[in-house]
Amino acid sequence: MPRQLRKGDAFPLDYNALLRAPRIEHAVYLFWSKSKACFVYIGKTDRTLPKRLRDHWLDCHNPTLRAWILYEPDDLIVCYIACPASVLPKLERRSIRRLDPIANKDYKV
């Protein structure tokens, strides 16, 4: 898990934890694989974090992330970085380029 994240900025992936996630409205969130020690997916939300993560849990359209959520949920940690709405797109793109998550296809140029 990235060293710059503080304790409390991450939680295990399970449905109850998702519902108890901080009600932050603007954040970049990252799915981290404990076993592979890599980022699986990075996204942004301008809704509350629990609502966006619930979307992934119930109806994920990304096939790679969906497989991870269905078959290896205990392996995933959700990290998040709260930020102003104006910074979201840039922070998401920069994070995807630098961290190269395996399930993201956009911004890998």
Global pTM reads 0.85
**More reliable by pLDDT, 94 or 12:** 94
CA distance 91 to 27: 9
Name the nearest CA neighbour of 50 among 77, 23, 74: 23
pLDDT for 2 equals 44
- State how far Cα 19 lies from the chain centre: 14
Rg, C-alpha atoms of the chain: 13
Q: Which domains does the chain have, with CATH numbers?
A: 10-99 (3.40.1440.10)
CA distance 30 to 17: 15
What SS3 state is found at 64? helix
pLDDT for 108 equals 52
pLDDT above 60: residue 68: yes
CA distance 87 to 20: 25
